[in-house]
């Protein structure tokens, strides 16, 4: 392009020069014709042949001169045309790169002052665009970071019903993979008629709409707020989702806690009230009966004392106010010690209690008393729910960088719907609550294990009767 432009500019300049010279030659010939006619006193059209021959020579000289001037002008203009064409080519390339997004470039045309101001203006425009893009990019990154860190779900839907933005919290609440969120229809993403109706009503009424809806197979409770936004490209819908599932679960746990505490206290209090009334009505005069009533009252008081003690213990553990004496402890000593304390009770129930240890010596970092309490709770539960003739096995093995301790029994097992709830306070698989105990042992065990940096879970034995409780502890040394 620079070569063709250079020649076009040079030839244009030469043609203009030649044309101007030829026109001036024609005017000169015409003036000479008039001058000769006036001098001889004749009409310009009646000049003698000698004068016409002279004028023809002048015309020919004007024609040849104009051609020569055109060639000279072309030759003289060619270097300047090359300079101008090169500068224009630089400006063209600079502008093309700007259009392609290359804003970190500069241009300087010191050899062509005629277009230098244009180059400076383009350079200034590029700098302003670069600053604007940088600011927009920074604001976009900040907005994306804010949206990603929000616990509330954010969805922006176009008027045509396509999802334009969905933050991670919204995808998590609705169970939507990141790869299929944007550009899809709102209804196909949320799969909720209530949310679709809420968004449609917000756009139609141009007013904020609120509702509480349950979505997904897990029936998560969401508070949805649909807000219409008027933008330059039209009205879009902003939907904010707040997950109320944990709030509802906490409220349910609170109600169950109050109900369970009331149930656990109502029976012993009613028994104590009955015993006191019986004594007041004259049974106190019967020494043997009075002594029996006092023993029963003492049992009920001990049960309530244990309940209060375990509630306080659980509260201290949950609040982190329990200090653990962490030290390296041989796993064999933990398991053998807990089994020895409950072996006689298991034998009285007609059960076998066996400890299985691996060949390697496993050592964990733990508080001996607290982990011993966890083992006693698990073994005691296994004894309580295993019929006579059954077996209880306490075992340990390395589990990656941790040690897994298992208490397995051949008892009645755990209903599948209760597996995720048995570690809740007061939760009992026996709905009639006839199995005894406060229902706090597993909750205390869970928090003690978590305080050690481990985790605990329960599962039914595959293909066999019974359940397995497993918890992990950090290993003190690598095997």
232-290 tens-digit pLDDT: 566 677 888 888 888 877 777 777 667 667 766 777 788 888 888 888 887 777 778 78
Q: Given a cut of 50, is residue 88 above it in pLDDT?
A: yes
Position 257 in a domain: no
- Give the CA angle between residues 65, 3, 81 to the nearest 5°: 50
CATH number at residue 301: 1.10.287.130
Residues 384 and 417 in one domain: yes
Domain span including residue 186: 151-243
Identify the CATH number of the domain in which residue 413 sits: 3.30.565.10
pLDDT cut 90: percent of the chain above it: 8
- Residue 1 and residue 58 in one domain: yes
Residues, the chain: 479
Q: What is the pLDDT, as a whole number, of residue 1?
A: 42
Residues 1 and 145 in one domain: yes
Q: Which residues make Cβ contacts (< 8 Å) with residue 418, sequence separation at least 6? A: 427, 429
Are residues 58 and 173 part of one domain? no
State the average pLDDT over residues 20-34: 65
Q: What is the model's pTM? A: 0.49
349 and 368 in a common domain = yes
Residue 156: give its domain's CATH number.
Answer: 3.30.450.20
**Within this chain, do residues 102 and 40 fall inside the same structural domain, yes or no?**
yes
For 117-159, the DSSP string reads: HHHHHHHHHHHHHHHHHHHHHHHHHHHHHHHHH-SSEEEEE-T
Residue finishing a domain among 91, 123, 149:
149
**What span, in angstroms and rounded, lies between the C-alpha atoms of 418 and 132?**
58
Q: What are phi and psi of 206, to 5 degrees?
A: 55, 40
Strands 352-356 and 391-399: parallel
> What is residue 123's predicted lDDT score, i.e. its pLDDT?
67
Are 358 and 418 contained in the same domain?
A: yes
Question: What is the SS3 assignment for 338?
Answer: helix
Quick one: 17 and 125 in the same domain? yes
pLDDT(11) > 90: no
Write out pLDDT tens, residues 316-370.
Answer: 776 666 777 888 999 999 999 999 988 989 999 999 999 998 878 889 988 888 8
């907005």: which residue's tokens? 143
Q: How many domains does the chain divide into?
A: 4
Please tell me whether residues 280 and 365 are part of one structural domain.
no
> Looking at the predicted structure, is the pLDDT value of residue 435 above 60?
no
Cβ atoms 202, 209 nearer than 8 A: yes
256 is a domain residue: no
Considering the domain architecture, whether residues 83 and 138 belong to the same structural domain is answered as: yes
Closest C-alpha to 394, from 375, 412, 374, 411: 375
Backbone angles phi, psi at 165, to 5 degrees: -155, 140
Residues 402-430 have a mean pLDDT of: 81
Same-domain check for residues 270 and 368: no
Q: Is residue 248 part of a domain?
A: no
Residue 252 within a domain? no
Q: Closest Cα to residue 210, out of 185, 236, 238, 186? A: 238
Residue 186 belongs to some domain of the structure? yes
Residue 352 falls inside a structural domain: yes
Residue in the block written with tokens 């298992």 = 406
Q: Which residue has the higher pLDDT, 261 or 373?
A: 373
pLDDT band at 186 (very low <50, low <70, confident <90, very high): confident
HSE at residue 416, side-chain half, CA atoms within 13 A, is 1
Both 366 and 299 in one domain: the answer is no
Residue 230 has pLDDT above 80, yes or no: no
Q: Answer with the one of 186, 212, 243 that is the final residue of a domain.
A: 243
């Amino acid at each position: 392009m620079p070569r063709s432009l250079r020649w076009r500019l040079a030839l244009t300049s030469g043609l203009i020069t030649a044309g101007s010279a030829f026109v001036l030659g024609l005017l000169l010939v015409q003036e000479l014709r008039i001058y000769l006619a006036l001098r001889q006193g004749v009409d310009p059209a009646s000049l003698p042949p000698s004068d016409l021959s002279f004028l023809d020579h002048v015309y020919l000289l004007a024609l040849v001169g104009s051609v020569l001037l055109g060639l000279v002008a072309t030759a003289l203009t060619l270097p300047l045309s090359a300079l101008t064409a090169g500068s224009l080519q630089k400006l063209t390339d600079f502008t093309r790169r700007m259009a392609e997004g290359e804003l970190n470039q500069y241009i300087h045309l010191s050899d062509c002052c005629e277009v230098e101001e244009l180059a400076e203006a383009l350079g200034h425009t590029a700098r302003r665009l670069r600053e604007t893009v940088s600011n927009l990019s920074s604001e976009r990154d900040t907005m994306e970071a804010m949206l990603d860190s929000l616990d509330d779900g954010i969805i922006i839907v176009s008027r045509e019903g396509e999802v334009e933005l969905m933050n991670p919290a919204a995808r998590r609440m609705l169970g939507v993979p990141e790869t299929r969120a944007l550009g899809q229809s709102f209804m196909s993403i949320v799969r909720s008629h209530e949310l679709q109706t809420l968004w449609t009503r917000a756009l139609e009424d141009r007013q904020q709409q609120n509702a509480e809806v349950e979505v997904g197979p897990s029936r998560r409770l969401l508070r949805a707020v649909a807000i219409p936004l008027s933008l330059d490209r039209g009205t879009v819908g902003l939907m904010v989702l707040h997950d109320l599932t944990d709030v509802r679960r906490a409220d349910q746990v609170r109600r169950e806690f109050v109900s369970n505490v009331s149930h656990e206290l109502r029976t012993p209090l009613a028994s104590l009230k009955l015993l006191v009334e019986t004594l007041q009505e004259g049974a106190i005069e019967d020494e043997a009966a009075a002594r029996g009533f006092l023993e029963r009252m003492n049992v009920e008081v001990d049960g309530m004392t244990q309940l209060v003690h375990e509630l306080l213990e659980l509260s201290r553990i949950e609040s982190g106010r329990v200090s653990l004496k962490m030290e390296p402890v041989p796993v064999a000593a933990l398991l053998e010690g807990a089994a020895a304390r409950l072996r006689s009770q298991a034998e009285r129930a007609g059960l076998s209690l066996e400890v299985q240890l691996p060949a390697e010596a496993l050592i964990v970092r733990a508080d001996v008393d607290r982990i011993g309490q966890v083992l006693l709770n698990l073994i005691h539960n296994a004894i309580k729910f295993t019929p006579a003739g059954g077996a209880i096995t306490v075992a340990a093995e390395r589990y990656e960088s941790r040690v897994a301790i298992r208490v397995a029994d051949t008892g009645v097992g755990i209903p599948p719907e209760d597996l995720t709830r048995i570690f809740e306070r007061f939760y009992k698989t026996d709905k009639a609550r006839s199995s005894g105990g406060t229902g706090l042992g597993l909750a205390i065990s869970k928090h003690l294990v978590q305080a050690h940096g481990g985790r605990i879970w329960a599962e039914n034995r595959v293909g066999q009767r019974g359940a397995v409780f497993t918890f992990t502890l950090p290993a003190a040394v690598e095997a």
